[in-house]
Amino acid sequence: MLMGLTVMGFGLTGYLLPWTVVSKSATDVSIGMLGFLPAQIGPILTFLVAGSGSGAAELTRFFDLHIIVLPAGLLSLLGLKMYMFEAHGAAEPPDGSKKNSKEIPWFPTVYLYFAMIGAMFVAIIFVAAAMFPINLPAEYTAQAASNYVAQPEWYFLWMYQVLKVQSFEGSGIYFALGAVTAVGIGLALLPFLDRGSQRNPKSRPLYTTLGLIMIAEVLTLTLWGYFTPGQIIPDSQAMIVLGGVALVVAVVSLFIFRTKLKVPIKFPLSAMALPFRNRSITALFMIPLITGSVCFANLVGSLTTVPVNPFLAIIDFVVLFGSFLAMARMMRTLTLRRERQM
């Protein structure tokens, strides 16, 4: 996920560099979303991304991010990924079989395999560039931007389409951004929450159906945003379209699982009852949660005041880190209890 987010950062920062009316207007939409974050965080992130606010500062900052910061981050994550592969080895096939699971040498077998994939990827890009040569729009000016409906690039279009729903206009945008953030956090924590031994998608109807619904919703929002630039989406229309897509995908998916794959449909919601069955751990969990939240707010607030009090900042950071460790230990305890119950 971190490598994917880094690549999206490449797309965001590189899109601005031609400095066209399309790229500048679209980038301003993305930067504008940072302004809806809490007052202690939003201005800091906006300054880190866009600089002082002038066009020259924004272009310079994006150039530095695109050629220095993001490449360094991607290379670091790639090194971490290779270390994880060397430390843990390749995963077994999802169906649990051990066919062809013998040790494969990294060099030259795996290296040549990845070299072939990379060469094919570069060849596809060259062919696409030859068949569909890009024509840059006009250079950015304030006058030209006033005649253009600003929209982000396609990989952020689904998120922007959510913000165009009528209920999320004005102050409702905080709920939209909060929901998108919650989905991202949920995806990041999913490998730690889902501890089932079965990894074959054909044997996991619930998680497979949820994944298909998420993919279908993102595709729907992307296409919908592309064909309705700048239009406010009524709440009823959003509920019909998004709810209808989710319902259709769920019915088709579960029908295939039930009839074609002969998989019994079960809904393992026992994890939802864990906090209520373990009330003592849940009550203790609230202590580091509240303490960590207060220390995080104090830490952000202390970093935005001048002069900065380093002593209080260090104390808040230490307590915040300890709270995270305590919450992680409690979640691990609940997870182990659920595994023993299963």
The residue with greater pLDDT, 150 or 24, is 24
How confident is the model over 130-135, as a mean pLDDT?
88
> Residue 185 half-sphere exposure, CB side, CA atoms within 13 Å?
6
Residues 294 and 236 in one domain: no
- At 88 the pLDDT is 80
Domain that holds residue 213: 153-268
Query: How far is residue 297's CA from residue 304's CA, in Å, rounded to a whole number?
Result: 11
Structure tokens at 122: 């570069």
Query: How far is residue 321's CA from residue 295's CA, in Å, rounded to a whole number?
Result: 10
Cis peptide before 307 (omega within 30 of 0): yes
In a domain, 143, yes or no: no
Residues 316-334 have pLDDT tens digits of 889 999 998 998 888 888 7
- Residue where a domain stops, chosen among 268, 289, 316: 268
- At 200 the pLDDT is 83
In a domain, 220, yes or no: yes
The pLDDT mean for the chain works out to 84
Residues 212-271 have pLDDT tens digits of 999 999 999 999 999 998 889 999 999 999 999 999 999 999 888 888 777 766 555 556
Residues 264-306 have pLDDT tens digits of 665 555 566 677 777 888 888 889 989 988 888 888 777 666 6
Residues 180 and 258 in one domain: yes
For the ranges 130-134, 187-191, 319-323, which has the lowest average pLDDT? 187-191
In a domain, 120, yes or no: no
Residues 287 and 228 in one domain: no
Residues 294 and 196 in one domain: no
In a domain, 66, yes or no: yes
Residues 304 and 243 in one domain: no
In a domain, 133, yes or no: no
- At 305 the pLDDT is 67
Which of 81-90, 158-167, 215-224 is predicted most confidently?
A: 215-224
- At 97 the pLDDT is 65
Query: How far is residue 310's CA from residue 130's CA, in Å, rounded to a whole number?
Result: 56
- Residue where a domain stops, chosen among 210, 237, 268: 268
How confident is the model over 27-51, as a mean pLDDT?
81
In a domain, 27, yes or no: yes
Residues 312, 298: contact at Cβ < 8 Å?
Answer: yes
Count of domains forming the chain = 3
In a domain, 140, yes or no: no
Residues 42-84 have pLDDT tens digits of 888 888 888 877 888 899 999 999 999 999 999 999 999 888 8
In a domain, 112, yes or no: no
Residues 198 and 283 in one domain: no
- Residue where a domain stops, chosen among 76, 96, 116: 96
